[in-house]
Structure formats: C-alpha cells, structure tokens
Amino acid sequence: MAVRHCSQLFTIINATLTVSFTGATETVGMTVLTCMMVMALNLDKQRLAQEEIDRVVGGDRMPNISDRADLPYVDAVIKETMRWQPALPLGFPRATTRDDDYNGYHIPKSTYVFANTWYISREHNEKYDPDEFIPEQFLNPDEPVRDPWSYAFGFGRRVCPGRYLAEDTVFILIVTILAMFKLEPLAEGELTPKFTLTIIWSVIISIPVIFTDPRISYPKPFKCRIIPRSEAKARLILSKSMSAI
Ligand code: HEM
C-alpha cells in the first residue's frame, strides 16, 4: 500500500527509526533514514526544502502525493540521497545462465555478476564532488545529471518491481517529516560523513564511516533531535495521529 497521506506520522517515524520495515521494503526505511541523517548534517539544504514545502503546502495541512510536482527541491533532495549513498550499492548478485562475451571479457556460465550502482553514482562530474551532498545538481536543465531513479533499482528483466511504490512511499515519508519537523544533530561533529574505501565481493567501493555493511547499506544508529517546527505543526501532528487511532 502506498502511503498517500502520512497521518500516522509518529508510528511511521518510529517504524522508520528502528528500521522495522522488513524484507524488500526495508530499503525504503534505509533511504528515509539516510535522508534524515543527511538533512541533520546539511541544515542549509534542510531549510531550503522546508521553505519550498511551506510555500507550496502552507501551514495548515500535511503534504500529500499530489504536491510532488510542485516540490522540485524536495524531489532533488530525495534523488541526491539515493545517489549519495544507494541502499544497495551493488544491487543483488545475479549469475549468468550461459557463457557470454562482453567488451572483450569472457564470462563463463554460472559467474556471479553485479550491477555496480555505487560506481554509477560516483560518475565523474567536473562540477560536483560525488562525496558531497548537492541536491542542486538535479535542478539545472542545462547540465543534466544521471537520475538515480534510473539505476538505484537495478536493470533489465529483474529490475525492482517495487520501484514505483518505493518512489511514492519515500517521497511522502520524507516530505511529511520535513514539513513537520526540524532535524538536528545532537552535538557538533556527532555525525561525520567521511568516506572510507572497503572491499565487498571483490569490488572496491567507498561508503561513509557512519554506514553499515555496504551489501545493504544503512546508517549506523545515530542520535539526532526531531523537533516539531512550530506549536501549530505539533497540534496538527497530534490531531492526525489521534484521528488515525
Ligand atoms: C528505495 C527502495 C528500494 C530500492 C533502492 C530497491 C532496489 C532494488 C534493487 C537494486 C533490486 C535488484 C534488481 C536487479 O537485480 O537488477 C531490487 C529487487 C527487488 N525488489 Fe526492490 N528496492 C526498493 C524497494 C522495494 C519495494 C518497496 C519492494 C516491494 C514492495 C521491492 C521488491 C523487490 C523484489 C521482489 C525484488 C526482486 C526482483 C527479482 O529478482 O526479479 N523493492 N530492488
């Protein structure tokens, strides 16, 4: 079920924070958690996203899925989250069903192959450092950057069948959290987005030190303040969560 309206916000945030989304949908939880972390790390970007939400949605209702087209900066924040640290940096391993030759390489039958999503996300770009969190790169029509929605979900026949559900769900969770709450690190320097190289399945990739195992990569437990952005918003959250019970 796509989350069209995030009225059970507290429950959902709680579920997200404890990463209790199970199975395939866990990747949705990871993406939302990653976004919360980068928002706490990048307060200037968080403020830009919130200003856009306030302009479009106003203060007396929660965002809904139909606001998405009018929220390009929030959309760019989500894309940049998926690029900056893809939930599945090497996708799922697959095995070849027959001998193959590709680009001068002979790949025997039954070889494990990976789509290196991490490498695509680090594609060379003259202007932007791939380790920096820069949503703005998705907003310049004159210099198009590859859209992470085109590679974060895999490729071909076995592409993720949940991608459209994931897209809507990630959007509505993040936009609602940003509309209602300010996210702050607990202490200066608490979260360090330093990248480190690591080898996984014989492939070298880099991940932030604050993330877990790169096979399925999500933030290690982190502390941050989640503060309602105003009294009015606190009342709105309470009224929605009470009416959802
Ligand atoms: C942000 C969220 C998500 C991400 C980043 C993600 C990513 C991926 C990736 C990279 C693959 C491997 C594709 C390949 O091998 O080419 C995959 C497979 C799969 N995903 Fe997702 N996924 C997400 C959400 C979901 C959701 C919400 C569902 C279901 C409700 C789902 C169900 C599946 C299933 C069943 C497969 C296996 C498909 C197959 O082997 O044929 N995913 N996903």
Residue 138 has a pLDDT of 95
Nearest-angstrom CA–CA distance, 202 and 90: 11
Residue 16 has a pLDDT of 41
Ligand 1 centroid distance, CA of 24 (Å)? 6
160 labelled ligand-binding:
yes
Q: b/e for 44-70, b at 16 or more Cβ within 10 A? A: ebbebbbebbeebbeeeebbebebbee
Q: What is the pLDDT of residues 119-135, one digit of tens each?
A: 899 887 788 888 899 99
| DSSP H helix total and E strand total for the chain | 7, 8
Residue pointed to by tokens 């979260």: 191
Is 76 among the domain residues? yes
Q: What is the pLDDT of residues 76-133, one digit of tens each?
A: 999 999 999 888 888 888 899 999 999 999 999 999 888 889 889 988 778 888 889 9
Is 72 among the domain residues? yes
Is 226 among the domain residues? yes
Judge if ipTM > 0.90: yes
Ligand 1 centroid distance, CA of 18 (Å)? 20
What's the token pair of residue 163?
A: 């991608």
Strands (DSSP E) found in the chain:
94-95, 100-102, 105-107, 112-113, 181-185, 195-200, 203-208, 224-228
Ligand 1 centroid distance, CA of 165 (Å)? 10
Is 103 among the domain residues? no
pTM: 0.85
* CATH number of residue 227's parent domain: 1.10.630.10
Is 122 among the domain residues? no
Q: Which residues line ligand 1 (CB under 6 A)?
A: 24-25, 27-28, 31, 87-88, 91-92, 94, 115, 152-155, 158-162, 165-166, 170
Number of structural domains in the chain: 1
Is 79 among the domain residues? yes
Is 202 among the domain residues? yes
Residue 210 has a pLDDT of 67
> What number does the ligand 1 atom closest to the CA of 25 have?
27
Is 105 among the domain residues? no
Range(s) of the domain holding residue 222: 17-87+133-244
Query: Whose Cα sits closest to atom 25 in ligand 1?
Result: 162
